[in-house]
Amino acid sequence: VMGYSRANEMLLMGHKFTAQEMKEANVVSRIFPQETFMQEVLKLATAAAKFPPQAMKDTKALIRDREQKLFHEHSIREMDLLGVRMSSDESAQAIMEFMKRSVSQ
């Protein structure tokens, strides 16, 4: 969904994306103004409710099936790497530095 460079910017650099940036990265398909947000969402929900429920469910499942499998595989790898990272000297040092800063404040 999101390109590598934007994902790196978010995950490695801690960038918080605006709604417009999320739309440009194809994370969301639409942006609604705060003032009309609920009305716009209710319009979409009303339109979606007119479709046959099982057909809607099946279509969504087909769209998401491949991504779900990749996401699951990626999540397992991420948890494995996180376990390794959390037990590293580098991680222990970063936690200690954080604790020192927290205590001094």
Asked whether residue 40 falls in the same domain as residue 66, the answer is no
pLDDT reported for residue 4: 86
Confidence of residue 38 (pLDDT cuts 50, 70, 90): very high
Task: Write out the residue range of the structural domain in which residue 27 sits.
Answer: 1-50
Confidence check: pLDDT of 102 > 70: yes
Quick: pLDDT tens for 55-87.
999 999 988 888 888 888 989 999 999 999 999
Confidence check: pLDDT of 1 > 70: no
Count CA atoms closer than 13 A to 37's CA, side-chain side: 4
SS (H, E, C) 17-79: CCHHHHHHCCCCCCCCCHHHHHHHHHHHHHHHHCCCHHHHHHHHHHHHHHHHHHHHHHHHHHH
Asked whether residue 64 falls in the same domain as residue 104, the answer is yes
Pick the closest to residue 91 from 82, 100, 104, 101 (CA basis): 82
Asked whether residue 16 falls in the same domain as residue 27, the answer is yes
Asked whether residue 83 falls in the same domain as residue 69, the answer is yes
Q: State the total domains in the chain.
A: 2
pLDDT reported for residue 88: 93
